[in-house]
Amino acid sequence: QITLKESGPTLVKPTQTLTLTCTFSGFSLSSIGVGVGWIRQPPGKALEWLAVIYWDDDKRYSPSLKSRLTITKDTSKNQVVLTMTNMDPVDTANYYCAHSTATYDQFDIVVAVVATLFDSWGQGTLVTVSS
């Protein structure tokens, strides 16, 4: 059974850096085809994908937030960490981490991800940005 849980501060001040941790069980982030992503949702609004990290340490970021985001993994601890710099009140949202199943093509030793499905989600954590 796959489970994920987000942790981190519930309140951050404008201009501060947010660090969120996703702790998971039921899968290994060293297995081919596996990834963990982050998605956020401002209260009452739609979902917004932020970033994903894959088993081979490849990473993808939302272009609109790329300069502010860093995603890393610690496979031994079953954790993925997302940092977001220069927080603003518009970044107030529920932040979710999710297990992803990647579809990939393999050419000899080269692996290319062609799709990333977010199939199991954590419960989310509400982060408020306010002074």
Burial of residue 89 (CB within 10 Å: 0-12, 13-18, 19+) is: exposed
| Smallest separation (angstroms) from another protein to the CB of 37 | 8
Specify which residues 71 forms β-bridges with.
82
Q: Any contact of residue 5 with another protein (CB under 8 A)?
A: no
Site of tokens 């996703």: 22
Site string for another protein, 6-35 (x = CB under 8 A): ------------------------------
Which stretch, 11-19, 47-55, 71-79, 82-90, contacts another protein (CB under 8 A)? 47-55
d(CA 59, CA 53): 4
Residue type (1 letter), 3: T
Q: Are 52 and 37 in contact (CB under 8 A)?
A: yes
**Number of shown-chain residues binding another protein (CB under 8 A):** 24
Q: Which residues bind another protein (CB under 8 A)?
A: 37, 39, 46-49, 52, 60, 62-64, 96, 103, 114-124
